[in-house]
Chain A
Amino acid sequence: MEPEVPDPSLTLPTRTWRVAPAGRMLTTLFDGQTVVYHPGTGHTHWISAVAAEILERLGGAPMNEAELRAALVPMIRPDDLHMLDESLRESLDYLEQLTLIETP
Protein backbone atom coordinates (compact mmCIF):
# COMPACT_ATOMS: atom_id res chain seq x y z
CA MET A 1 0.00 0.00 0.00
CA GLU A 2 1.17 3.43 -0.87
CA PRO A 3 1.56 5.93 1.95
CA GLU A 4 -1.49 8.18 2.26
CA VAL A 5 -1.00 11.59 0.67
CA PRO A 6 -2.21 14.19 3.14
CA ASP A 7 -4.91 16.60 1.95
CA PRO A 8 -2.99 19.85 1.30
CA SER A 9 -5.68 21.97 2.96
CA LEU A 10 -5.04 20.14 6.25
CA THR A 11 -1.33 20.76 6.18
CA LEU A 12 -1.64 24.54 5.72
CA PRO A 13 0.04 26.37 8.54
CA THR A 14 -2.48 27.67 11.07
CA ARG A 15 -3.89 31.00 9.85
CA THR A 16 -3.33 34.26 11.66
CA TRP A 17 -6.33 36.52 12.19
CA ARG A 18 -6.85 40.16 13.01
CA VAL A 19 -9.83 42.44 13.47
CA ALA A 20 -10.60 44.17 10.15
CA PRO A 21 -9.10 47.69 10.17
CA ALA A 22 -12.45 49.37 9.61
CA GLY A 23 -12.45 51.97 12.37
CA ARG A 24 -14.04 51.67 15.79
CA MET A 25 -15.96 48.40 16.06
CA LEU A 26 -18.78 48.73 18.59
CA THR A 27 -20.16 45.87 20.65
CA THR A 28 -22.88 45.63 23.23
CA LEU A 29 -24.15 42.81 25.38
CA PHE A 30 -27.85 42.00 25.95
CA ASP A 31 -28.63 39.18 28.40
CA GLY A 32 -25.41 37.38 27.45
CA GLN A 33 -25.89 37.92 23.70
CA THR A 34 -23.50 40.12 21.75
CA VAL A 35 -24.40 42.61 19.03
CA VAL A 36 -21.55 44.11 17.01
CA TYR A 37 -21.46 47.11 14.68
CA HIS A 38 -19.06 47.02 11.71
CA PRO A 39 -18.01 50.63 11.01
CA GLY A 40 -16.86 49.77 7.48
CA THR A 41 -19.97 48.09 6.14
CA GLY A 42 -22.32 49.90 8.54
CA HIS A 43 -24.03 46.57 9.28
CA THR A 44 -24.96 45.20 12.69
CA HIS A 45 -24.72 41.52 13.59
CA TRP A 46 -25.72 39.24 16.43
CA ILE A 47 -22.81 36.91 17.11
CA SER A 48 -22.30 33.87 19.36
CA ALA A 49 -20.47 34.00 22.69
CA VAL A 50 -17.46 32.18 21.20
CA ALA A 51 -17.35 34.61 18.24
CA ALA A 52 -17.59 37.55 20.65
CA GLU A 53 -14.69 36.16 22.69
CA ILE A 54 -12.60 35.71 19.53
CA LEU A 55 -13.32 39.29 18.49
CA GLU A 56 -12.37 40.54 21.93
CA ARG A 57 -9.08 38.57 21.95
CA LEU A 58 -8.16 39.70 18.44
CA GLY A 59 -8.91 43.27 19.46
CA GLY A 60 -5.66 43.18 21.47
CA ALA A 61 -3.35 41.80 18.77
CA PRO A 62 -3.47 39.38 15.81
CA MET A 63 -3.41 35.72 16.87
CA ASN A 64 -3.11 32.43 15.06
CA GLU A 65 -5.67 29.67 15.44
CA ALA A 66 -3.60 27.63 17.89
CA GLU A 67 -3.21 30.67 20.15
CA LEU A 68 -6.92 31.41 19.89
CA ARG A 69 -7.78 27.84 20.81
CA ALA A 70 -5.51 27.96 23.85
CA ALA A 71 -7.08 31.25 24.93
CA LEU A 72 -10.59 29.83 24.65
CA VAL A 73 -9.95 26.58 26.59
CA PRO A 74 -10.37 28.11 30.09
CA MET A 75 -13.82 29.49 29.22
CA ILE A 76 -15.20 26.13 28.06
CA ARG A 77 -16.62 23.51 30.47
CA PRO A 78 -14.43 20.37 30.39
CA ASP A 79 -17.42 18.26 29.17
CA ASP A 80 -17.82 20.60 26.15
CA LEU A 81 -14.16 20.71 25.21
CA HIS A 82 -14.65 18.26 22.34
CA MET A 83 -16.86 20.85 20.64
CA LEU A 84 -14.28 23.62 20.82
CA ASP A 85 -12.55 22.94 17.50
CA GLU A 86 -15.80 22.86 15.57
CA SER A 87 -17.09 25.94 17.34
CA LEU A 88 -13.83 27.81 16.73
CA ARG A 89 -13.89 26.86 13.03
CA GLU A 90 -17.52 27.93 12.61
CA SER A 91 -17.04 31.20 14.48
CA LEU A 92 -13.96 32.14 12.46
CA ASP A 93 -15.79 31.34 9.21
CA TYR A 94 -18.76 33.43 10.26
CA LEU A 95 -16.67 36.39 11.41
CA GLU A 96 -14.68 36.26 8.18
CA GLN A 97 -17.85 36.12 6.12
CA LEU A 98 -19.11 39.24 7.91
CA THR A 99 -15.69 40.83 7.21
CA LEU A 100 -15.28 41.51 10.91
CA ILE A 101 -11.95 39.65 10.87
CA GLU A 102 -9.40 38.95 8.16
CA THR A 103 -5.97 37.44 7.65
CA PRO A 104 -3.35 40.19 7.47
Chain B
Amino acid sequence: MNAAFQRLLAVLRQPDALARVDAAGWDGLLRHSRSAGLLSRLALDARDAGLWEALPDRVRRHMRGACFVADRQINAIRWEVHKLHEALGHHGMPIVLLKGAAYVMGDLPPARGRLFGDVDLLLPRDRLDEAERLLHLYGWHGAGLDDYDQRYYREWMHEIPPMTHFSRGSTLDVHHNILPRTARLKPRAETLLAGIEPIPGYTNLYRLGDADLVLHAATHLFHEGEWGHGLRDLVDLDALLRHFMARPGFLAELGRRAAELDLRQPLAYALGCVRTTLGTPLGDPALVAELEAPAHALVRVALGHGFASAHPDMASPGAAAALLFLYVRSHWLKMPPHLLVPHLLHKALAAGEVEKA
Protein backbone atom coordinates (compact mmCIF):
# COMPACT_ATOMS: atom_id res chain seq x y z
CA MET B 1 0.00 0.00 0.00
CA ASN B 2 1.14 3.51 -0.89
CA ALA B 3 2.75 5.46 2.00
CA ALA B 4 0.55 8.58 1.65
CA PHE B 5 -2.60 6.44 1.76
CA GLN B 6 -1.27 4.49 4.71
CA ARG B 7 -0.64 7.70 6.66
CA LEU B 8 -4.19 8.90 6.05
CA LEU B 9 -5.60 5.55 7.16
CA ALA B 10 -3.39 5.53 10.25
CA VAL B 11 -4.79 8.84 11.53
CA LEU B 12 -8.35 7.86 10.68
CA ARG B 13 -7.92 4.62 12.62
CA GLN B 14 -6.24 6.18 15.60
CA PRO B 15 -6.46 9.98 16.12
CA ASP B 16 -3.51 9.85 18.55
CA ALA B 17 -1.38 9.12 15.48
CA LEU B 18 -1.94 12.76 14.49
CA ALA B 19 0.69 13.64 17.12
CA ARG B 20 3.27 11.58 15.25
CA VAL B 21 2.83 13.21 11.84
CA ASP B 22 5.84 15.47 11.23
CA ALA B 23 5.62 18.79 9.39
CA ALA B 24 6.73 17.29 6.08
CA GLY B 25 4.10 14.58 6.47
CA TRP B 26 1.44 17.21 7.09
CA ASP B 27 2.15 18.85 3.75
CA GLY B 28 0.77 15.71 2.10
CA LEU B 29 -1.80 14.76 4.72
CA LEU B 30 -3.42 18.20 4.52
CA ARG B 31 -3.96 17.81 0.78
CA HIS B 32 -4.90 14.16 0.75
CA SER B 33 -7.47 14.48 3.53
CA ARG B 34 -8.95 17.58 1.92
CA SER B 35 -9.21 15.79 -1.39
CA ALA B 36 -11.00 12.89 0.30
CA GLY B 37 -13.41 15.31 2.03
CA LEU B 38 -12.02 14.30 5.43
CA LEU B 39 -10.09 17.39 6.56
CA SER B 40 -12.90 18.63 8.83
CA ARG B 41 -13.26 15.18 10.34
CA LEU B 42 -9.51 15.08 11.14
CA ALA B 43 -9.83 18.57 12.63
CA LEU B 44 -12.48 17.39 15.09
CA ASP B 45 -10.39 14.32 15.91
CA ALA B 46 -7.37 16.55 16.60
CA ARG B 47 -9.45 18.78 18.88
CA ASP B 48 -10.94 15.85 20.78
CA ALA B 49 -7.52 14.26 21.19
CA GLY B 50 -6.15 17.51 22.68
CA LEU B 51 -3.73 17.91 19.75
CA TRP B 52 -5.16 21.12 18.27
CA GLU B 53 -2.48 23.46 19.60
CA ALA B 54 0.32 21.10 18.58
CA LEU B 55 -0.66 21.15 14.88
CA PRO B 56 1.51 23.14 12.46
CA ASP B 57 0.03 26.66 12.08
CA ARG B 58 -0.88 26.30 8.43
CA VAL B 59 -2.58 22.97 9.04
CA ARG B 60 -4.59 24.35 11.95
CA ARG B 61 -5.75 27.31 9.86
CA HIS B 62 -6.99 25.15 7.00
CA MET B 63 -8.66 22.80 9.46
CA ARG B 64 -10.41 25.69 11.13
CA GLY B 65 -11.74 26.81 7.74
CA ALA B 66 -12.87 23.26 6.96
CA CYS B 67 -14.81 23.15 10.25
CA PHE B 68 -16.67 26.35 9.38
CA VAL B 69 -17.64 24.80 6.06
CA ALA B 70 -18.81 21.57 7.72
CA ASP B 71 -20.86 23.43 10.36
CA ARG B 72 -22.49 25.59 7.73
CA GLN B 73 -23.38 22.51 5.67
CA ILE B 74 -25.10 20.89 8.62
CA ASN B 75 -27.28 24.00 9.02
CA ALA B 76 -28.01 23.99 5.32
CA ILE B 77 -29.04 20.31 5.40
CA ARG B 78 -31.32 20.86 8.40
CA TRP B 79 -32.98 23.75 6.58
CA GLU B 80 -33.36 21.76 3.37
CA VAL B 81 -35.02 18.94 5.28
CA HIS B 82 -37.33 21.44 6.98
CA LYS B 83 -38.42 22.80 3.58
CA LEU B 84 -38.85 19.27 2.20
CA HIS B 85 -40.98 18.40 5.15
CA GLU B 86 -43.10 21.47 4.47
CA ALA B 87 -43.59 20.31 0.87
CA LEU B 88 -44.21 16.61 1.53
CA GLY B 89 -44.57 15.77 5.22
CA HIS B 90 -47.24 18.44 5.81
CA HIS B 91 -49.28 16.82 3.05
CA GLY B 92 -49.19 13.41 4.64
CA MET B 93 -46.33 12.01 2.59
CA PRO B 94 -43.93 9.89 4.68
CA ILE B 95 -40.31 10.89 3.94
CA VAL B 96 -37.42 8.55 4.64
CA LEU B 97 -34.09 10.41 4.73
CA LEU B 98 -31.08 8.55 3.39
CA LYS B 99 -27.29 8.94 3.86
CA GLY B 100 -26.03 12.38 4.96
CA ALA B 101 -29.43 13.89 5.72
CA ALA B 102 -30.33 10.83 7.82
CA TYR B 103 -27.08 11.11 9.78
CA VAL B 104 -27.67 14.80 10.50
CA MET B 105 -31.36 14.59 11.41
CA GLY B 106 -30.88 11.32 13.29
CA ASP B 107 -27.96 12.79 15.30
CA LEU B 108 -25.73 9.92 14.21
CA PRO B 109 -21.91 9.92 14.44
CA PRO B 110 -21.09 10.06 10.69
CA ALA B 111 -22.57 13.60 10.62
CA ARG B 112 -19.60 14.77 12.66
CA GLY B 113 -17.33 16.91 10.49
CA ARG B 114 -18.84 15.49 7.32
CA LEU B 115 -19.23 17.33 4.04
CA PHE B 116 -22.53 16.93 2.25
CA GLY B 117 -23.74 16.80 -1.30
CA ASP B 118 -27.34 16.32 -2.30
CA VAL B 119 -30.22 15.33 -0.05
CA ASP B 120 -31.44 11.78 -0.72
CA LEU B 121 -34.95 10.53 0.08
CA LEU B 122 -36.75 7.22 -0.11
CA LEU B 123 -40.48 7.39 -0.87
CA PRO B 124 -43.09 4.70 -1.46
CA ARG B 125 -43.04 3.88 -5.16
CA ASP B 126 -46.81 4.19 -5.59
CA ARG B 127 -46.69 7.77 -4.30
CA LEU B 128 -43.90 9.09 -6.51
CA ASP B 129 -46.22 10.91 -8.93
CA GLU B 130 -47.91 12.67 -6.04
CA ALA B 131 -44.51 13.54 -4.52
CA GLU B 132 -43.20 14.93 -7.80
CA ARG B 133 -46.31 17.09 -8.15
CA LEU B 134 -45.94 18.44 -4.60
CA LEU B 135 -42.22 19.12 -5.09
CA HIS B 136 -43.00 21.07 -8.29
CA LEU B 137 -45.51 23.16 -6.35
CA TYR B 138 -42.85 23.97 -3.76
CA GLY B 139 -40.22 25.05 -6.27
CA TRP B 140 -38.24 21.92 -7.20
CA HIS B 141 -37.81 21.15 -10.88
CA GLY B 142 -36.20 18.34 -12.85
CA ALA B 143 -32.75 18.78 -14.37
CA GLY B 144 -32.59 19.32 -18.13
CA LEU B 145 -31.87 15.72 -19.09
CA ASP B 146 -32.03 14.49 -22.67
CA ASP B 147 -34.63 11.90 -23.72
CA TYR B 148 -32.20 9.02 -23.35
CA ASP B 149 -31.34 9.91 -19.76
CA GLN B 150 -35.01 10.53 -18.89
CA ARG B 151 -35.93 7.08 -20.19
CA TYR B 152 -32.91 5.51 -18.50
CA TYR B 153 -34.03 6.89 -15.15
CA ARG B 154 -37.73 6.14 -15.49
CA GLU B 155 -37.33 2.61 -16.84
CA TRP B 156 -34.31 1.21 -15.11
CA MET B 157 -33.32 3.26 -12.11
CA HIS B 158 -34.36 3.26 -8.47
CA GLU B 159 -34.78 7.02 -8.46
CA ILE B 160 -36.42 9.75 -10.51
CA PRO B 161 -34.14 12.26 -12.29
CA PRO B 162 -32.47 14.64 -9.78
CA MET B 163 -34.41 17.79 -8.91
CA THR B 164 -33.11 21.27 -8.14
CA HIS B 165 -34.79 23.97 -6.07
CA PHE B 166 -35.31 27.16 -8.09
CA SER B 167 -34.23 29.59 -5.37
CA ARG B 168 -31.92 27.61 -3.09
CA GLY B 169 -30.16 25.76 -5.92
CA SER B 170 -30.03 22.62 -3.76
CA THR B 171 -30.26 19.20 -5.40
CA LEU B 172 -32.60 16.43 -4.37
CA ASP B 173 -32.47 12.73 -5.25
CA VAL B 174 -35.80 10.97 -4.80
CA HIS B 175 -35.47 7.18 -4.61
CA HIS B 176 -38.07 4.45 -4.43
CA ASN B 177 -35.50 1.77 -3.65
CA ILE B 178 -31.81 1.55 -2.80
CA LEU B 179 -30.82 -0.36 -5.95
CA PRO B 180 -31.91 -0.08 -9.59
CA ARG B 181 -34.76 -2.28 -10.79
CA THR B 182 -32.27 -4.00 -13.08
CA ALA B 183 -29.71 -4.82 -10.37
CA ARG B 184 -28.71 -8.41 -9.64
CA LEU B 185 -29.51 -8.05 -5.95
CA LYS B 186 -33.18 -7.45 -5.18
CA PRO B 187 -33.78 -5.73 -1.84
CA ARG B 188 -37.50 -5.06 -1.41
CA ALA B 189 -38.37 -1.45 -0.65
CA GLU B 190 -41.38 -2.62 1.40
CA THR B 191 -39.04 -4.49 3.75
CA LEU B 192 -36.94 -1.34 4.22
CA LEU B 193 -40.02 0.82 4.78
CA ALA B 194 -41.33 -1.62 7.38
CA GLY B 195 -38.25 -1.00 9.54
CA ILE B 196 -37.96 2.81 9.49
CA GLU B 197 -37.30 4.95 12.57
CA PRO B 198 -39.04 8.30 13.18
CA ILE B 199 -36.98 11.52 13.42
CA PRO B 200 -37.83 13.05 16.82
CA GLY B 201 -39.81 16.29 16.69
CA TYR B 202 -41.34 15.69 13.27
CA THR B 203 -44.31 13.79 11.89
CA ASN B 204 -43.90 11.87 8.63
CA LEU B 205 -40.12 12.16 8.78
CA TYR B 206 -38.00 9.02 9.13
CA ARG B 207 -34.66 7.39 8.56
CA LEU B 208 -33.88 3.74 7.82
CA GLY B 209 -33.62 1.37 10.76
CA ASP B 210 -30.19 1.00 12.38
CA ALA B 211 -29.14 -2.17 10.55
CA ASP B 212 -30.65 -0.92 7.29
CA LEU B 213 -28.61 2.29 7.53
CA VAL B 214 -25.46 0.17 7.59
CA LEU B 215 -26.71 -2.05 4.78
CA HIS B 216 -27.60 0.92 2.60
CA ALA B 217 -24.16 2.48 3.14
CA ALA B 218 -22.61 -0.91 2.31
CA THR B 219 -24.75 -1.29 -0.83
CA HIS B 220 -23.88 2.19 -1.99
CA LEU B 221 -20.17 1.51 -1.58
CA PHE B 222 -20.30 -1.91 -3.19
CA HIS B 223 -22.12 -0.64 -6.29
CA GLU B 224 -20.07 2.53 -6.63
CA GLY B 225 -18.68 3.34 -10.09
CA GLU B 226 -16.97 6.65 -9.40
CA TRP B 227 -14.62 6.57 -6.47
CA GLY B 228 -14.02 10.19 -5.46
CA HIS B 229 -16.05 9.70 -2.25
CA GLY B 230 -15.22 6.06 -1.65
CA LEU B 231 -13.05 6.61 1.39
CA ARG B 232 -15.50 9.05 2.95
CA ASP B 233 -18.28 6.53 2.47
CA LEU B 234 -16.13 3.91 4.18
CA VAL B 235 -15.52 6.33 7.05
CA ASP B 236 -19.33 6.75 7.35
CA LEU B 237 -19.68 2.98 7.60
CA ASP B 238 -16.97 2.77 10.23
CA ALA B 239 -18.66 5.47 12.32
CA LEU B 240 -22.09 3.80 12.04
CA LEU B 241 -20.72 0.39 12.99
CA ARG B 242 -18.72 1.68 15.96
CA HIS B 243 -21.88 3.41 17.18
CA PHE B 244 -24.33 0.53 16.76
CA MET B 245 -21.91 -2.22 17.82
CA ALA B 246 -22.23 -0.87 21.35
CA ARG B 247 -25.59 -2.66 21.36
CA PRO B 248 -25.24 -6.39 22.10
CA GLY B 249 -26.47 -8.58 19.25
CA PHE B 250 -26.19 -5.87 16.60
CA LEU B 251 -23.88 -7.89 14.35
CA ALA B 252 -26.29 -10.84 14.34
CA GLU B 253 -29.18 -8.47 13.61
CA LEU B 254 -27.18 -7.06 10.69
CA GLY B 255 -26.66 -10.56 9.31
CA ARG B 256 -30.37 -11.41 9.60
CA ARG B 257 -31.42 -8.20 7.99
CA ALA B 258 -28.89 -8.64 5.15
CA ALA B 259 -30.42 -12.05 4.41
CA GLU B 260 -33.97 -10.60 4.43
CA LEU B 261 -32.94 -7.82 2.04
CA ASP B 262 -30.76 -9.90 -0.33
CA LEU B 263 -27.76 -7.78 0.69
CA ARG B 264 -25.40 -10.41 2.10
CA GLN B 265 -22.76 -9.70 -0.50
CA PRO B 266 -22.51 -5.93 0.04
CA LEU B 267 -22.37 -6.56 3.78
CA ALA B 268 -19.53 -9.04 3.29
CA TYR B 269 -17.45 -6.47 1.40
CA ALA B 270 -18.35 -3.65 3.76
CA LEU B 271 -17.30 -5.59 6.85
CA GLY B 272 -14.10 -6.82 5.20
CA CYS B 273 -13.19 -3.34 4.02
CA VAL B 274 -13.84 -1.44 7.27
CA ARG B 275 -12.11 -4.09 9.31
CA THR B 276 -8.94 -4.26 7.20
CA THR B 277 -8.82 -0.60 6.16
CA LEU B 278 -10.00 1.26 9.24
CA GLY B 279 -9.67 -1.36 11.96
CA THR B 280 -13.35 -1.21 12.93
CA PRO B 281 -13.91 -3.56 15.90
CA LEU B 282 -16.64 -6.01 14.91
CA GLY B 283 -16.68 -8.48 17.80
CA ASP B 284 -17.29 -12.24 17.47
CA PRO B 285 -14.64 -13.46 14.92
CA ALA B 286 -16.62 -16.57 13.94
CA LEU B 287 -19.70 -14.54 13.08
CA VAL B 288 -17.57 -11.93 11.26
CA ALA B 289 -15.95 -14.68 9.18
CA GLU B 290 -19.37 -16.12 8.34
CA LEU B 291 -20.74 -12.74 7.29
CA GLU B 292 -17.63 -11.95 5.23
CA ALA B 293 -17.68 -15.33 3.42
CA PRO B 294 -19.55 -14.15 0.27
CA ALA B 295 -16.71 -11.67 -0.57
CA HIS B 296 -14.19 -12.30 -3.37
CA ALA B 297 -10.55 -11.59 -2.48
CA LEU B 298 -9.87 -10.02 -5.89
CA VAL B 299 -12.75 -7.58 -5.65
CA ARG B 300 -11.59 -6.60 -2.18
CA VAL B 301 -8.16 -5.71 -3.55
CA ALA B 302 -9.81 -3.60 -6.26
CA LEU B 303 -11.97 -1.86 -3.66
CA GLY B 304 -8.78 -1.01 -1.76
CA HIS B 305 -7.57 0.88 -4.85
CA GLY B 306 -10.95 2.58 -5.00
CA PHE B 307 -10.57 4.01 -1.50
CA ALA B 308 -7.09 5.33 -2.36
CA SER B 309 -8.32 7.13 -5.48
CA ALA B 310 -9.38 10.33 -3.68
CA HIS B 311 -5.96 11.77 -4.53
CA PRO B 312 -3.46 10.68 -7.23
CA ASP B 313 -0.61 10.70 -4.66
CA MET B 314 -2.25 7.80 -2.85
CA ALA B 315 -2.46 5.50 -5.87
CA SER B 316 -0.45 2.25 -5.94
CA PRO B 317 0.69 0.40 -9.08
CA GLY B 318 -2.28 -1.25 -10.75
CA ALA B 319 -4.75 1.40 -9.56
CA ALA B 320 -5.88 2.41 -13.06
CA ALA B 321 -6.76 -1.16 -13.99
CA ALA B 322 -8.50 -1.70 -10.66
CA LEU B 323 -10.60 1.45 -11.08
CA LEU B 324 -11.64 0.44 -14.59
CA PHE B 325 -12.57 -2.96 -13.24
CA LEU B 326 -14.67 -1.35 -10.49
CA TYR B 327 -16.36 0.95 -12.99
CA VAL B 328 -17.36 -1.85 -15.33
CA ARG B 329 -18.29 -4.06 -12.39
CA SER B 330 -20.57 -1.41 -10.86
CA HIS B 331 -22.52 -1.26 -14.11
CA TRP B 332 -22.47 -5.05 -14.43
CA LEU B 333 -24.07 -5.30 -10.99
CA LYS B 334 -26.72 -2.76 -11.85
CA MET B 335 -27.70 -3.97 -15.34
CA PRO B 336 -28.02 -7.24 -17.26
CA PRO B 337 -25.59 -7.41 -20.25
CA HIS B 338 -28.24 -6.83 -22.94
CA LEU B 339 -28.83 -3.41 -21.35
CA LEU B 340 -25.32 -2.74 -20.12
CA VAL B 341 -23.45 -2.88 -23.44
CA PRO B 342 -25.73 -0.41 -25.26
CA HIS B 343 -25.70 1.87 -22.20
CA LEU B 344 -21.90 2.06 -21.92
CA LEU B 345 -21.67 2.56 -25.70
CA HIS B 346 -24.14 5.43 -25.54
CA LYS B 347 -22.18 7.04 -22.69
CA ALA B 348 -18.84 6.60 -24.50
CA LEU B 349 -20.18 8.10 -27.73
CA ALA B 350 -21.83 11.02 -25.90
CA ALA B 351 -18.55 11.74 -24.07
CA GLY B 352 -16.71 11.65 -27.42
CA GLU B 353 -19.05 14.26 -28.85
CA VAL B 354 -18.43 16.61 -25.94
CA GLU B 355 -14.66 16.29 -26.39
CA LYS B 356 -14.90 17.06 -30.10
CA ALA B 357 -17.07 20.12 -29.43
Indicate yes or no for A touching B, C-beta below 8 A: yes
Against B, the Cβ 8 Å flags (1 = close, 0 = not) of A24-41 are: 000000000000000111
Q: Within 8 Å CB of A40, what residues of B? A: 75-76, 78-79, 82
Is B168 in the interface zone, CB < 8 Å from A? Answer: yes
Assess whether A42 is in contact with B82, with CB atoms less than 8 Å apart: no
Total A-B residue pairs with C-beta atoms closer than 8 Å? 23
Quote the shortest CB–CB distance from B151 to chain A (angstroms).
35
Q: Which of A1-49 contact B (CB under 8 A)?
A: 20-23, 39-42
Asked if B78 and A22 sit within 8 Å, CB to CB, the answer is yes
Residues of A within 8 A of B72 (CB): 42
Q: Count residues on chain B whose CB falls below 8 Å from chain A CBs.
A: 9
Instruction: Label chain B's interface by main secondary structure.
Output: helix
Sorting the interface of chain A by its residue count into under 10, 10 to 19, 20 to 34 or 35 or more gives 10 to 19
Residue-by-residue, is A47-60 near B (CB-CB < 8 Å gives 1, otherwise 0)?
00000000000000
CA distance A102 to B76 in the complex (A): 17
CA distance A21 to B76 in the complex (A): 12
Could you tell me if A39 and B75 are in contact, using CB atoms closer than 8 angstroms? yes
Which of B72, B78, B79 has the most chain A CB atoms closer than 10 A to its own CB? Answer: B79
Q: How far apart are A36's CB and chain B's nearest CB, in angstroms?
A: 15
Task: Tell me the minimal C-beta distance from A99 to chain B in angstroms.
Answer: 8
Instruction: Tell me which residues across on chain A come within 8 A of B79, comparing CB atoms.
Output: 22-23, 39-41
| In the bound complex, CA of A36 to CA of B189 (Å) | 43
Report B69-92 residues with CB < 8 Å from chain A CB. Answer: 72, 75-76, 78-79, 82-83, 86
A22-B82, A39-B75, A39-B79 are known; give 11 further A-B pairs, CB within 8 A. Answer: A22-B78, A23-B78, A23-B79, A40-B76, A40-B79, A40-B82, A41-B79, A42-B72, A42-B75, A99-B83, A102-B86
Which residues of B are at the interface with A, using a C-beta cutoff of 8 A? Answer: 72, 75-76, 78-79, 82-83, 86, 168
13 A-B pairs with CB atoms under 8 Å apart are A20-B82, A21-B82, A22-B75, A22-B78, A22-B79, A23-B75, A23-B78, A39-B79, A40-B78, A41-B79, A42-B75, A42-B76, A99-B83
